[in-house]
Structure formats: C-alpha cells, structure tokens
Amino acid sequence: MAFQLSKFCCAAALLAVGFGAAPVQAQQQNLSDWLGGQLQEQAQQRFDTRLEYGTFEVNTLTAELMATDIRLRTDIDELPAGLNQLLMAENLLLEGDWQLPGTNAPKNNIVVKRAVLENVQLTVAYFDTGRSNLHVLLDHARQLHLQRVNEPLDWSVDEMVLRNVVVNLFDSGTPLASVRIPELILPAVNSAQTTQEQVEKLLWPVLDQLARQAMKGNSENVTVDSGGLMRFLWREM
C-alpha cells in the first residue's frame, strides 16, 4: 500500500532506461519531446502501463524534469477500468542525477534527489492479499535492466513531497478509505529494498495522516469504512 511510491519509482526507472537509450535520436529532435516519447513507450512495453501528460520538459543544465496533466493507468485484468487509473496530477517536478544523452556510457543507477507532485489523486486498488496496482508496478520496476548493458537498474528517491493529495484505497472493489492531505512528506526509498519493505515504509505516514484527519472529525477531508479498514490492515500487516 505504498500510495505515493509508484510514480516516483517508475519515473526513476523509466528515466534511466530512457537516458540509457541511444542518444542519436535525441539529437535529431527536441530532447524533451524525445524523452517524453521514450518514457511513454517504455511504460507501455516494460510496465504494461499507460503514461499520458499535457506538457513535458527536461532541463539538462539543472537536471530537472517538469510535466503537467499527468495520468498513469495500469492494465490489470482483475481490476475494473476505473480502479486501474492509479494516478492523476496537475504538476510533477523531479530533481536528480541521471545519465544525459551524449555521454559515453549509460549509468546503471539513477538518483531522484527531490520529487514534488501537486494536486494529486491516487487510487490504490488491492485485488488479492499483498497484490495491488502498486505492487504490480513495483515488481516490474525491480525487474528492469538497462537495454545496452543488461545490468540491473539501481535507483533511489531521497525526498518525496505531495501537495494537496487525495488518496483512495480499495480492496476487492470495495472502497475502504479516502483522505485529503494538504502536504505529505514520505521517507526515502531505493531499489535495494524489497517491494514489501517499500510498502511498509510508506504505509505508516499515510495511515498517520488518515488517523489524524479522522480524529479531527472533518468529514470533508476523510471517509473511512473503519471495520473494513481494520480487517484489511489485519490481513496485510
């Protein structure tokens, strides 16, 4: 139930794969357009996921990537179409250290130093014990290898900030919780962790915010099926 992890991990993994590809193509067209197309293609081929965006810009001088109107949709047969819509966000900013086209060899690691998402909706849908749309994406990310050197991809995300985020949690099609959080800062994660370790590390900040909102009694910011959520946590934890 690593609610916010998938976008950052997939972005980190896809960036390394994209930047590790042959840079000749990028020299023949705008770098931002080329990389955006690479990420969409790799998301479809390697993650079985559809990535869409409104605008996409990469700044090679500051090592920043900026995108707007982001949509990330999985393709899991066990989930209905609406629950495959994992993420929607108005703005994304990634600051990091990744291999840029024109260098001699691809790196087998990528560091996202800071990731910021604004005006976000995340829908995390479980379809079995320990299995959700996020688990599927994370499993794909762990199996990635760089194309030209066939080496495992190492990645890390040092700081993750989500502003004005709505998190929705479903279990077997049943809504368990929905919470709006003004700002959520998540722990650092990296590819050395197992999928379950990543899930557990990121679960508690979200649950803490969910509990705080519920204790305030603000029905506009939180909706919870308490019994269903407790049964879910007992099963998953």
Partnered with residue 52 across adjacent β-strands are 71
Position 194 scores a pLDDT of 82
Position 105 scores a pLDDT of 44
CB atoms within 10 A of CB 28: 8
Domain range summary for the chain, segments of one domain joined by + = 12-236
Partnered with residue 126 across adjacent β-strands are 132, 171
Position 1 scores a pLDDT of 41
Position 14 scores a pLDDT of 53
In whole angstroms, give the CA distance from residue 176 to residue 214.
13
Position 2 scores a pLDDT of 39
Position 209 scores a pLDDT of 80
Give DSSP secondary structure letters for the chain.
--TTHHHHHHHHHHHHHHHHS-THHHHTS-HHHHHHHHHHHHHHHHH-EEEE-S-EEEETTTTEEEEEEEEEEE--TTS-HHHHEEEEEEEEEEEEE-PPTTSSS--SEEEEEEEEEEEEEEEEEEEETTEEHHHHHHHHHHT-B-TTT--BPEEEE--EEEEEEEEEEEETTEEEEEEEEEEEEE--EETTS-HHHHHHHHHHHHHHHHHHHHHHT-TTTEEE-HHHHHHHHHHH-
* Tens digit of pLDDT at every position of the chain (237 positions): 433 444 455 555 555 445 444 344 444 458 788 888 888 888 888 788 899 999 999 887 888 899 999 999 999 999 998 999 999 999 999 998 765 444 444 456 778 889 999 999 999 999 999 899 988 887 887 776 555 455 667 778 898 899 999 989 999 999 999 989 899 888 888 888 887 787 777 767 877 887 777 777 667 788 889 899 889 889 887
Position 84 scores a pLDDT of 94
Position 67 scores a pLDDT of 95
Position 108 scores a pLDDT of 66
Q: Please give the torsion angle defined by the CA atoms of residues 68, 203, 206 and 54, in that order, rounded to the nearest 10 degrees.
A: 10
